[in-house]
Structure 1
């Protein structure tokens, strides 16, 4: 007599789809993919997170992809990445013009650049509301900002408790920190989730109370202003001031080099916002910096700032003679 075949359901021994919980931060969104947005997208994707970023035009989307690709190529050239890893990173990043593509994100970051403080707050509030319309209730909404107070920015939101602020440092690849700010309305749960994200992308958390400029920018702008004064007084050359800070005080880049990398127009806005908040002349932008900004000599992005640069952003040996 043939033995009877016994069938047992495999569901008891495996994962049923409806019971599989979605991993936190499996997908994040970024609104505005300039320098900061590109760095957030690249780093998050490197750690296996799916990224969708929103831009205003297809041209901006292509530009973001090109810039991310260049940074990855640079890492490949220095044996820090393989071609296969580059393809995998780029495959996890998607550009879009439609806010609806932010649906399903666990965390959405607003990282736009604006011209003035009033316009910046108004525009960012509008973006926050547009994000809230398409994401779930559990999605955290944050801004990468140093001079805008998150309590003010989230004041018109339906769910204010999920809004946070942070500063993703891009001064160098070694600057693995994020200043994280909990606003007046921010819940402890939302704050802890953002801290989990920071750890996930291998950054050190710097808890900061709400304050214009936070820690990094507030200290840096004073240093840069003083460096400009030292230069204008003829105490030392630009190169020697930078060398003093690098060799003498252990900074990876000097104040003029950092400023060019960050963008002088961005730094002037920081200074004006902090000066408006505190009224201290130490934060008021040096006329020297403002002159460069008026001449559209903004740093690495334009090929000329305090120093001059080639098309790949490498510094040339000559100093900007218009300084």
Structure 2
């Protein structure tokens, strides 16, 4: 049974740990505190229960999946047996660079080091290690147990062998891997974030209201979720961070984040995670109400 270490037990990290454990991998889930790990395991258990209730997973498989998960608050201890490490920490450049410096020191020399970053350069991350050929991007989509796509991002020095191995591992998880090159935003966010930013700009300029913009995109373009609701789901802070990576990395003013987005993030209106973004969120309710601050 191959050993996988996942760094970060938040939304993406617990989802990545979930799918690896469900598909037979021994998983070390690593975070800075035990309460964070406990929350991550609780989320995994709840999501497995949902699969069982829908009939897509036998009850015995839930027990087996949870049995393949171990938690660690020590990075050194958690990665010492890993063949693959997937970093799913906060989308912060300096944090990720430090994690990869540490991984290079603590993970076995043959281990592949992958990042779930949604926009930060894999080449830049690989450059702080002594094994750049073994550093790669594995950008899972949220929610990880449901979404099929994995963007597999080759850094400048990533080897053919490592790329092929990660593509194969992604398929073993029931995912569809898509290989892309290492440029700001890769493919998914290079296209998605300017669309979200333009929707925010249309709201900012008074072209239409929140619900109207989302309705046009859902009914007119067959999007399952409007761009403003999707931004809330992703996290407005994450959207802003990715747009800044695009703006800085490509040097084109079309990627400059809308002032409304900047102000909302500064005010702590981050979407679902804070309870309010373009919409207001009530725990336990599926009803959406536009934020009072953004009503016409």
State the TM-score, normalized to the length of structure 1: 0.84
Would you say 1:289 and 2:261 are equivalent positions?
Answer: yes
How many pairs are equivalent? 293
- Quote the Cα distance in structure 2 between the aligned partners of 1:107 and 1:197: 10
Which residue is equivalent to 1:211? 183
What is the aligned counterpart of 1:309 among 275, 278, 281? 281
- SS of the residue aligned with 1:316? coil
Which residue is equivalent to 1:59? 35
- Quote the Cα distance in structure 2 between the aligned partners of 1:74 and 1:306: 28
Cα distance, 1:171 vs. partner? Answer: 5.8
Cα distance, 1:213 vs. partner? Answer: 0.4
The gaps in structure 2 that reach 5 residues or longer are none
Change (3 A) 1:188 1:37: same
Matched-pair contact (CA < 8 Å) for 1:110–1:143: yes
- Quote the Cα distance in structure 2 between the aligned partners of 1:268 and 1:70: 30
Cα distance, 1:42 vs. partner? Answer: 1.0
After superposition, where does 1:12-161 map in structure 2 within 5 Å?
26-98=2-74, 99-114=76-91, 120-161=92-133
Matched-pair contact (CA < 8 Å) for 1:307–1:316: no
Matched-pair contact (CA < 8 Å) for 2:12–2:144: no
- Quote the Cα distance in structure 1 between the aligned partners of 2:218 and 2:103: 42
Cα distance, 1:173 vs. partner? Answer: 5.9
- Quote the Cα distance in structure 2 between the aligned partners of 1:233 and 1:205: 38
Matched-pair contact (CA < 8 Å) for 1:177–1:205: yes
- Quote the Cα distance in structure 2 between the aligned partners of 1:103 and 1:195: 23
- Quote the Cα distance in structure 1 between the aligned partners of 2:207 and 2:97: 45
Matched-pair contact (CA < 8 Å) for 1:171–1:258: no
Change (3 A) 1:38 1:295: same
- Quote the Cα distance in structure 2 between the aligned partners of 1:149 and 1:75: 35
- Quote the Cα distance in structure 1 between the aligned partners of 2:291 and 2:145: 25
Cα distance, 1:112 vs. partner? Answer: 0.9
- SS of the residue aligned with 2:129? coil
Query: Structure 1, residues 94-142: CA drift from partner, whole Å, max 9, x if none?
Result: 210122232221110111115xxxxx33332221132223332221001
- Quote the Cα distance in structure 2 between the aligned partners of 1:33 and 1:295: 26
- Quote the Cα distance in structure 1 between the aligned partners of 2:39 and 2:133: 34
- Quote the Cα distance in structure 2 between the aligned partners of 1:172 and 1:45: 13
